[in-house]
Amino acid sequence: MSVPRGAVHAKWIVGKVIGTKMQKTAKVRVTRLVLDPYLLKFFNKRKTYFAHDPLQQCVVGDIVLLKALPERRSKHVKHELAEIVFKVGNVIDPITGKPCAGTRFLENLSDSENLTEADTNYLSEKLQELKVCSSDK
């Protein structure tokens, strides 16, 4: 039986980076759904893994795909960074390929170009009120 990868049980895992204070190593928290035997409900169970990140490109909060190393790199490091799935603050929607934040696309944002009718009406009303106040004084 060949062991190309796998002194470790988990070959590929997805987790969130929680620490980058170590040199070329990222601390990643991985959650799995575990069934509670009495409630029969799934809860997230966390486990931290250390991953080798040679270019130190991970920031705390990134969602990251880890690949198991063929043999252990050090006492705790058994995985390496395969790919950053979602970079924090710079999430790219994989279906459209555009940058997004939450439920909105970030592409078309600029100050005055994309104001809707309602926005311009509201702003002009506010300006009118200001003019009235200043004339009273």
> Is the Cβ–Cβ distance between 64 and 39 less than 8 Å?
no
Q: What is the DSSP letter of 97?
A: -
Shortest distance, position 69 Cβ to another protein, whole Å: 14
Residue 45 or 131: which CB sits closer to another protein? 45
* Radius of gyration over every alpha carbon of the chain, rounded to an integer in angstroms: 24
Shortest distance, position 41 Cβ to another protein, whole Å: 6
Residue 13 or 77: which CB sits closer to another protein? 13
Q: Which helix (H) or strand (E) holds 12?
A: strand 12-19
How far apart CA 88 and CA 67 sit, in angstroms, is 20
Phi, psi angle pair for 130, to nearest 5°: -60, -40
How far apart CA 47 and CA 16 sit, in angstroms, is 11
Residue 39 or 55: which CB sits closer to another protein? 39
Given the rule CB under 8 A, which residues bind another protein?
Answer: 10-14, 30-33, 35, 39-42, 63, 65, 67, 82, 85-86, 91, 93-96, 100, 102-105
Shortest distance, position 30 Cβ to another protein, whole Å: 7
Shortest distance, position 52 Cβ to another protein, whole Å: 17
3-state secondary structure of 92: strand
Residue 47 or 126: which CB sits closer to another protein? 47
